[in-house]
Amino acid sequence: MQSVSSMTSMDHFWLIIFCAIVAFIPRFFPLLFFTKRQIPEWFNEWMRFVPVSLFTALVVKSVFVDSKYNIMTSGNLGLIISSILVGIVAYRTRSMTLSVVIGLGAVMIFVLVLHI
């Protein structure tokens, strides 16, 4: 296999094409299948719990798990405090923009200024 040093723009192009195919398959076929068929009631009831579980999973991954899949035991206090802050802001204001802006501000203060 080629490494980045020998990867040309043509390699990158094919990488994008393959990634696009791999990304498209799970987006398309389940959607197609369930829009053509009657969806059982239990499936709808189950699916109501999917988004909230998935979003929590993505948040927990970025706050508590590092890129090598180990639990972060230090250096993420700023992220934890910021996350709680965003949760409070989201709950009180229901505003997406405020949540993101205050979250970014909090992380800048905690991580860049206070280094926690």
Partner 1 sequence: MKKNEPNWLAVLRTVMPLGLSYIPIGLACGVLLHAAGFNHLLTALISVLVFSGGAQFLIASMLTINAPMTTIILMMFFLELRYALLGSSLSRYLKGQPLPFIFAFAFSMNDENYAVNYLKFATDKHWKPTQALLVEHYSLLFWTVSNIIGSLIGSALTINLSVVDFALTALFIYMAVMQTKSRLTILVCALSGVLTIFFLVLMKSTLGLVVATLIASLTGYFIERHLLARKPESHLLYKVHDPTSQTAMEESDK
For position 23 contacting partner 1 by CB under 8 A, the verdict is: yes
Coil/strand/helix, residue 71: strand
Which residues in the 33-62 window bind partner 1 by CB under 8 A? 33-35, 39, 42-62
Torsion of CA 100, 67, 74, 106, to 10 degrees: -10
Q: List the one residue from 80, 107, 114, 116 that touches partner 1 (CB under 8 A).
A: 107
Shortest Cβ 100–partner 1 spacing (Å): 4
- Whole-angstrom distance, CA of residue 55 vs CA of residue 69: 18
Which residues in the 64-103 window bind partner 1 by CB under 8 A? 64-65, 67, 69-71, 79, 82-83, 86-87, 90-97, 99-100, 102-103
